[in-house]
Amino acid sequence: MESEPLTSSPGDEADSDAQLRQALSLPPLRDDGFTHRVVRSLPRAPGAPRRRLFVILGGAAGGLGVGVGLRFAAPPPSLPPIPAAAWSDPSLPLALLVLAATLLYVFKLHLQRRPLL
């Protein structure tokens, strides 16, 4: 028993192209909002975006908490206390700027799809 050849003949491709051109030249079918109603009635994904949001925000809050916590941690006994002028160090605002840029990058597609208010 021999199987059919897997390659198509040039005549088959021409027929397929003609049928495709004919189908594309027809006006689209009216569905009176049927497609929109069907897509709207489909169940949403089971919490994947929400879980992703909590993981990202939790990681950001944890990183920020560690960074701020290290600032307020008691210095080891061998080091002198940090003077108030050390708060003018740009590392904390820089960390906040990096955090904001990271969150904007991560949620870029999400923010483009939905209005802010």
Ranges of each domain in the chain: 90-117
Burial of 63 (0-12, 13-18, 19+ CB in 10 A): middle
Q: Is the pTM of this model over 0.85?
A: no
pLDDT in tens, the chain (117 residues): 566 766 666 667 888 888 888 888 888 888 888 988 998 898 876 666 677 778 788 888 887 887 777 777 665 566 566 666 656 666 767 777 888 888 887 777 777 776 655
Cα–Cα dist 59/65, whole Å: 10
Please tell me the predicted confidence (pLDDT) of residue 58: 82
C-alpha 37, offset from chain centre? 25
